[in-house]
Amino acid sequence: MIRRIGELYRFELYKIIHSKLTVAVILIFAALTIIMGMQLSIGERGLRIHEDIRVLTGHVINNDLINKMNSDIGSVDGLELGENYKYTGLAHTMFMVQDGEDLITADQFYENRIKLQKENMKDQGLSDREMQWWANKEAEISKPITYVPHLNANTLINYMTNICIMAILLAAICLSGVFAGEYRKNMDQILFSCKHGRKETFVAKILAGVSFSVCCVIALTALLIMSVWLRTGLDGLNGAVQLEIPYSAYPFTFIKFIRIQIIIVIIASVMFSAMAMSMSALFKNGIAVMGTIVGLYLLNQFWEIPLKYRVLSQAAKFIPTNLIVSWSLGDFRLINCFGSYHTMFAIAPWIYLVISAAFILIGDLAFRRSQR
């Protein structure tokens, strides 16, 4: 049986990859990824900033450094940097916690980040136990924070969201016809009458679709990292995420968060592909599948649930494109699982796998029902 599925799998994967539409979509997404990674829009000034900010690498964020910056640029709002491009990243970090003040000291920086941290926890409705859990995590963060140029790391973090969007569109466009195409070409009854046209074919189609989606996401991610590296380098990955989101209590470096993003996007791509193929078997219409998936994505962009409805708003946060953004480092809501607290980053992959299994089951039921 495994050998039969293997042969069918290669055939189904061949059909997906050799579709003209699939080839066009992959080439377009690859080109967009290179353009994103090369950051062609930053120009010569942007390249100079990337070079100049390296001067401050390894400096501890203390009063000596902050006072020198305040003296040189006159403000932390980033509007009076002048020729002092080396302070670009540090000024942004200070700006995030200045709390209405024009100039702040290092002591105020550390005080304000804890103040903002507690305010966010209160707004998000955290319990005392959750706050204590985060207090323990906060204690793991090395202080004073060491500055490293983090523009490249931040670029990767931001563009990983675009890779996730591409994973959604890849599933919607390239996998919507995996089952629907058989009905459109009137091949379904011939397929069902074959000796291995039922269970083995369904398994082979699912495996082909999932592996196609996962491989594309991995390839696009690698292409993004390579493009950023070639254009501006990959320095700053070992910096603390507090350089970008100062009030975050996650004891993460940028590279750790990017790894989390990659894992989430890869597993989410499994969910997207399972969703597209189950809809393909259910709707028997590729256009309907594409429209539904794109419509759901657009709905998510315009749909924001207030924090006071914690269960609903936290559920919406598990949508992959919502979860992997850098601002999630300031979302402190936890999941209580059998008396133990876990972050949404830790729980999300398991939720996506369960949802994927549910979609595959729905697709299997729809596929079986169509054989009657």
Mean pLDDT per 10-residue interval, the chain, length 372 residues? 73 89 95 85 64 80 85 58 70 78 79 92 92 94 89 89 96 87 55 61 90 96 92 84 92 95 97 94 86 90 85 92 93 91 95 96 83 56
Q: Residue 61: phi, psi to the nearest 5?
A: -75, 95
Report d(CA 262, CA 29) in Å as an integer. Answer: 17
pLDDT for 78: 46
Contact 337, 347 (CB under 8 A): yes
pLDDT for 321: 94
Report d(CA 248, CA 123) in Å as an integer. Answer: 14
Nearest to 221 by CA among 267, 274, 172: 267
Residues 6+ apart with CB under 8 A from 30: 219, 220, 223
Cis peptide before 144 (omega within 30 of 0): yes
Contact 33, 54 (CB under 8 A): no
pLDDT for 306: 87
Contact 291, 372 (CB under 8 A): no
In a 13 Å sphere around the CA of 93, the CA atoms on its Cβ side amount to: 31
